[in-house]
């Protein structure tokens, strides 16, 4: 089965997640290491799904998995040790077998945009084959 190239709908249901920056998040210059933004996206996306009753663990137990097929990050300004970041997460588009999440990372203290990005997720079965997102999962994602 091929993944759909067109999306069924677009919508804006956002969630904010706070991330405190620890020393282990930074590089030798005291700036957040670039790859950590993908980790922050993952944490925020997992929280987004859980808040809609579509927890990653529960879905996996039912044989419904999501894999990141594409990720993009645009870096705007450095974040540093001690900063608290707010990751705004929302579903940008959803199709029969794919979901695109978008993210904005803001420094909580001043609202400055630190990074933005997106991840394209594909739904796969437990045998790692592409599949449609089950209707009951779509309902949860859509907030119905």
Residue 55 sits at the vertex; the CA angle it makes with 51 and 57, to the nearest 5 degrees, is 155
65-118 pLDDT tens trace: 999 999 999 999 999 999 999 999 999 999 999 999 999 999 999 999 999 999
Cβ count near 140 (within 10 Å): 17
1-53 pLDDT tens trace: 233 334 444 455 678 999 999 999 999 999 999 999 999 999 999 999 999 99
**Cβ pair 141, 14 in contact under 8 A:** no
Please name the residue that has the structure tokens 């945009």: 113
**Cβ pair 105, 75 in contact under 8 A:** no
Q: Please, what sign has the CA dihedral across residues 109, 111, 117, 121?
A: positive
Whose CA is closest to 114, among 125, 105, 102?
A: 105
Distances 136 to 19, 62, 74, 105, 131 between C-alpha atoms, Å: 30, 12, 33, 30, 14
pLDDT at site 57: 92
Active site residues: 27
133-144 pLDDT tens trace: 999 999 988 886
Measured between alpha carbons, how far is 4 from 1 in angstroms, rounded to an integer? 9
pLDDT at site 4: 35
Q: Regarding the domain delimited by 9-142, which CATH topology (the fold level of the hierarchy) does it fall under?
A: Thiol Ester Dehydrase; Chain A (3.10.129)
Whose CA is closest to 103, among 92, 114, 88?
A: 88
pLDDT at site 121: 97
103-128 pLDDT tens trace: 999 999 999 999 999 999 999 999 99
């Amino acid at each position: 089965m091929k993944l759909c190239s067109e999306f069924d709908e677009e919508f804006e249901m956002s969630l904010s997640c706070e991330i405190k920056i620890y020393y282990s998040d930074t590089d030798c210059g005291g700036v957040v290491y670039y790859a950590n933004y993908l980790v922050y996206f993952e944490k925020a996306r997992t929280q987004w799904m859980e808040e809609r009753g579509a927890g990653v663990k529960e879905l996996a137990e039912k044989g419904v998995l999501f894999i990141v097929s594409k990720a993009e990050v645009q870096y705007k300004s450095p974040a540093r040790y001690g900063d608290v970041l707010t990751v705004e997460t929302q579903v940008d588009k959803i199709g029969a077998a794919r979901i695109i999440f978008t993210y904005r990372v803001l420094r909580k203290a001043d609202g400055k945009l630190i990074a933005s990005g997106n991840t394209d997720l594909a739904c796969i079965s437990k045998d790692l084959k592409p599949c449609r997102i089950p209707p009951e999962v779509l309902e949860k994602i859509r907030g119905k």
